[in-house]
Chains A and B, each alone.
Chain A
């Protein structure tokens, strides 16, 4: 092959240039010489090594080299952004880390502190309540919408697209649009309904339900689409057979359709559960987590609508307590992992039973 001879020269050159600049960049880094060009030198080094390896004229190891070069970019970014911060973060939660420097090892102090904070415990309870209510309501609404939109009807495509539309918009913008709706546009209505002379977002009890309303509005259309796909997999023959046997609409629904889309229900509960748990944007822009709670564990709180994710954020970023925030984040991770594993187990069992 003609390409081989040029590769024979190219590969060593690339490798040598790569290794030399890589090492040079690292030497500058470690000696803290601070030359501006060290960053580009490092990138040239890594690219040189990868390309050099790639063009190396070897039959035997070529496949392995390709595997390595193909895996490298994604694994590298994944390692730096997910794995390293996760391990460091878990480590930091046992220290008095302030976001920049690690001082002392403090054992489980941060975790103890977290559990002694009424506001944190309140956030856990509120999040649990939100997740449960949200999971039930979103699935119910989405399923009903799916039934509506999977029947033959004029303009069904338009309705599907419309119901899905809110899902396109980010939580921050959504939160502001609804904040306007609740505190300005609907003011007249809520004044009459609840006898309030101010926005219902300022009343903790109502504000919690406002978040739920907004979340259903945003999310039900998306879950509906998944249910429609599930309902479409129910074979037409089965439905026709049951109709001939004299099944009415209700028994068709409960004894045929729902059991046959059990796996779709599992997916949708999983999605709504994990997403409700991680809800942050809407919480931040709709209420900012504010709201007064008069009596919780013998004291009053000001974070009446603050869910876990926002609580972690405000602990670390706003109150500048990184170690405590990180400890809460680790707890959040553990709770989420346990809940989702349990959910998947339970629904798998149910699926088998059906």
Chain B
């Protein structure tokens, strides 16, 4: 191949990549321009930017944020609390459990590990119906509401995220030399100090990975919160809120798209800032 040809292949590749990128971004374009329109302007020309204005966007956002079915700030706050607390607990409990499983080669720890791995194949649908009744009964029994409550939802995420978190963490802890721990315990370090002072700080990169994987899942999850919180209840996450908002009245696309824009924006902003970590985390999680 001579130079001329090579260059033209490169240009061709670039054009193809650019066209695909435009295709991928097209729905986002439609989302943004139509969130800036009044209903009439959408009917007239849904594809072009004609009729889109910033003042209309602000108007739409105001309507959406104050809507009783959406209650953006409330749903956003619940989503943030549920996601953040679940992620912190999963990282802490997950690494504690993974460390015990990894460093104790007993029948028990092997059995627990096996059950964790085997459980990853269980689809949520197989447990979701009995989960509602279990949570209802357990809540009534112990006097702490588990349904329609934020703590109950966090509890469920710790349970469902546990298996994958432990699986990824065990794979990482296996690679940490055991001599490190032996040396520390000979120096008089207690087991819990060994874990918190030596092992836990070493887990930082893999905790970033599991946090990204779990975070993407929990933030976007619809089915679990919709079942545990109830679609019309006072506690709701963003995906539940947008679903109940859409179902609440005759289709008004400008408002639906404004709500969608509000839901999408936080994730996109986080992605812009932590692009490298997110991409690396998603890939690492899949390969392990």
Interface residues of A (CB under 8 A from B): 25, 28-29, 34-40, 42-43, 54, 62-63, 66-67, 70-71, 73-75, 77-86, 88-89, 92, 99-100, 145, 148-149, 151, 153-156, 158-173, 176-178, 180-181, 184-185, 187-188, 217, 221-222, 225-226, 229, 264, 267, 271, 274, 277-278, 280-281, 284-285, 308-309, 312-313, 316-317, 322, 325-326, 329-330, 332-333, 336-337, 340
A-B pairs with beta carbons under 8 A, tally: 275
> A36 to B286, Cβ gap below 8 A?
no
Q: Does B124 contact A (CB under 8 A)?
A: yes
A261: min CB distance to chain B, Å: 12
| CA–CA, A197 and B21, complex, Å | 30
In B3-24, the 8 Å CB interface with A consists of 10, 13-14, 16-18, 20-21, 24
- Decide: A329 and B155 in contact? CB cutoff 8 A: no
Extra inter-chain contacts (20) besides given A25-B142, A85-B129, CB under 8 Å: A70-B99, A70-B195, A71-B97, A82-B163, A86-B122, A88-B130, A151-B13, A153-B14, A167-B216, A168-B271, A168-B278, A170-B222, A176-B246, A181-B27, A185-B34, A217-B24, A277-B123, A280-B125, A308-B125, A336-B121
A285 / chain B contacts, CB cutoff of 8 Å: 243, 246
Interface of B is mostly: helix
B191 in contact with A169 (CB, 8 Å): no
Most buried by B among A40, A167, A177, A336: A177
A181 cross-chain contacts in B, Cβ below 8 A: 26-27, 30
Question: Contacting chain A: which of B56-64, B170-178, B252-260?
Answer: B252-260
A38, A176, A280, A325, most chain B CB atoms within 10 A: A176
Residues of A within 8 A of B27 (CB): 166, 177-178, 181, 217
**Within the complex, what minimum Cβ distance (angstroms) separates A167 from chain B?**
8
For chain B, the count of residues having a C-beta within 8 Å of the partner chain is 91
A225-B282, A281-B223, A330-B126 known; A38-B142 Cβ under 8 A: yes
Which B residues have a C-beta under 8 Å from some C-beta of A? 10, 13-14, 16-18, 20-21, 24-28, 30-31, 34, 42, 46-47, 89, 93-94, 96-97, 99-101, 104, 112, 115-116, 119, 121-134, 136, 138, 141-144, 155-156, 158-160, 162-163, 166, 190-192, 195, 216, 219-223, 227, 239, 242-243, 246, 253, 256-257, 260, 263-264, 267-268, 271, 275, 278-279, 282-283, 286-287
